[in-house]
């Protein structure tokens, strides 16, 4: 079977891919580290340039690779397959220089139900380890069979623990295990920090859109902003299917007291709440903001929410490079 040679321009490193492999799969198989996340065209973490050579780009989410990205010569390596030898230049984000991911053992410190289907998990890190991350990033649990499950960190980076919010996924092997069998004090392996969902320096007002447990990384960012006495104006849109899906409401009320510029807009899809707006959470944003030109949007939740929010908000004037997202993919492929 023919293979194609992929050369990384800046380092001169080379690896080979089969025609059936993506660029990312070929790099991983050759032990070459490139940034990646979902491996499914949804998160944008594997974005990078192809300097020369032909390749085929499979289906992806437009929030992960925008028209501006494509114009700038970028592709998603997890969805791109070489059709001849390529020269590429990965986009190694600054965050990876500062906070490079590592594999660590962790102990489950506590498991607490936050509502009918969300579990809060605190993980204790080894005493001698320093684990630094940027608010908004995520970790992956490494399972016995090598598969992984990604969860955003919900706490500010100053803490010595990791806090996660896990929603019970129907038929989901890992979350069923967490809800039914996982024991406090048990030891597991994680890798992190990973991901590029973090607050960008700017003076612009921020719209946070949190769908379900997409609240977790936004909680991390807001708590970090409180710790850093950040003065930016914040609109927190929090969407759930029905009222019983909200959790940590008191904490949000506490934030409103601490952060003067915070406006909170809870939204329920089923319309059966007296305290929340009705409909899709990103529609509430569109109703409230006729002009999105001078705003940054940070959106986290199910891939459908992220994709629809990206399409509709950019249609309403939000520049596509001011939309930052973390789309949950529920069962990533094996690595």
CB contact at 8 A, 26 and 16:
yes
Q: How far is the CB of 17 from ligand FES (least distance, A)?
A: 15
Bond into 244 cis (ω within 30): no
The piece of 2-10, 39-47, 155-163, 172-180 that touches ligand FES (CB under 6 A) is: 39-47
64 lies in the site for ligand FES, by CB under 6 A = yes
50 lies in the site for ligand FES, by CB under 6 A = no
CB contact at 8 A, 193 and 178:
no
86 lies in the site for ligand FES, by CB under 6 A = no
For the sheet containing 86-90, what is the strand order? 14-17, 4-8, 86-90, 47-52, 74-76
80 lies in the site for ligand FES, by CB under 6 A = no
Q: How far is the CB of 220 from ligand FES (least distance, A)?
A: 20
What count of residues does the chain have? 335
39 lies in the site for ligand FES, by CB under 6 A = yes
State the DSSP string of 298-319. Answer: EEEE-HHHHHHHHHHHHHTT--
42 lies in the site for ligand FES, by CB under 6 A = yes
Distance CA 32, CA 124 (A): 30
Among residues 44, 212, 217, 266, the one that binds ligand FES under rule CB under 6 A: 44
Residue 306 half-sphere exposure, CB side, CA atoms within 13 Å? Answer: 27
Q: By C-beta, is 47 or 283 nearer to ligand FES?
A: 47
43 lies in the site for ligand FES, by CB under 6 A = yes
Q: How far is the CB of 36 from ligand FES (least distance, A)?
A: 4
Among residues 27, 46, 81, 178, the one that binds ligand FES under rule CB under 6 A: 46
139 lies in the site for ligand FES, by CB under 6 A = no
Which tokens in the block code for residue 215?
Answer: 């609240």
Binding residues for ligand FES restricted to 150-189, rule: CB under 6 A:
none
34 lies in the site for ligand FES, by CB under 6 A = no
State the number of binding residues for ligand FES (CB under 6 A): 13
76 lies in the site for ligand FES, by CB under 6 A = yes
Distance CA 75, CA 70 (A): 6
199 contacts: CB under 8 Å, gap ≥ 6: 135, 136, 206, 221, 224, 225, 298
Site residues (vs ligand FES, CB under 6 A):
36-39, 41-46, 64, 76, 78
């Amino acid at each position: 079977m023919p293979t194609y040679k992929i050369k990384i321009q800046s380092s001169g490193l080379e690896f080979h891919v089969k025609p059936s492999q993506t660029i990312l799969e070929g790099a991983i198989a050759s032990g070459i580290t490139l940034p990646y996340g979902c491996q499914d065209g949804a998160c944008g973490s594997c974005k990078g340039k192809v300097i020369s050579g032909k390749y085929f780009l499979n289906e992806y989410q437009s929030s992960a690779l925008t028209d501006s990205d494509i114009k700038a010569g970028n592709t998603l390596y997890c969805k791109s397959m070489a059709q001849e030898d390529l020269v590429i230049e990965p986009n190694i984000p600054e965050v990876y220089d500062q906070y490079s991911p590592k594999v660590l053992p962790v102990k489950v410190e506590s498991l607490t139900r936050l509502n009918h289907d969300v579990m809060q998990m605190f993980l204790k890190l080894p005493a001698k380890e320093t684990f630094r991350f940027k608010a908004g990033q995520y970790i992956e649990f490494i399972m016995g069979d090598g598969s992984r499950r990604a969860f955003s960190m919900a706490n500010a980076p100053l803490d010595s623990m990791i806090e996660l919010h896990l929603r019970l996924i129907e038929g989901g092997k890992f979350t069923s295990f967490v809800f039914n069998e996982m024991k406090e004090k048990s030891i597991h392996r994680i890798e992190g920090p990973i991901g590029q969902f973090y607050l960008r320096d700017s003076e612009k007002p921020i719209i946070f859109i949190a769908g379900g447990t997409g609240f977790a990384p936004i909680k991390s960012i807001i708590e970090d902003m409180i710790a850093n006495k950040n003065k930016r104006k914040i609109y927190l849109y929090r969407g759930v299917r029905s009222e019983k899906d909200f959790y940590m409401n008191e904490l949000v009320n506490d934030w409103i007291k601490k952060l003067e510029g915070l406006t909170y807009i809870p939204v329920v899809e089923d319309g059966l709440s007296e305290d929340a707006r009705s409909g899709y959470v990103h529609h509430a944003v569109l109703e409230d903001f006729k002009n999105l030109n001078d705003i940054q949007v940070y959106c986290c939740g199910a891939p459908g929410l992220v994709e629809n929010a990206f399409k509709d908000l950019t249609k309403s004037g939000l520049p596509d490079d001011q939309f930052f997202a973390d789309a949950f993919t529920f069962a990533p492929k094996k690595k």
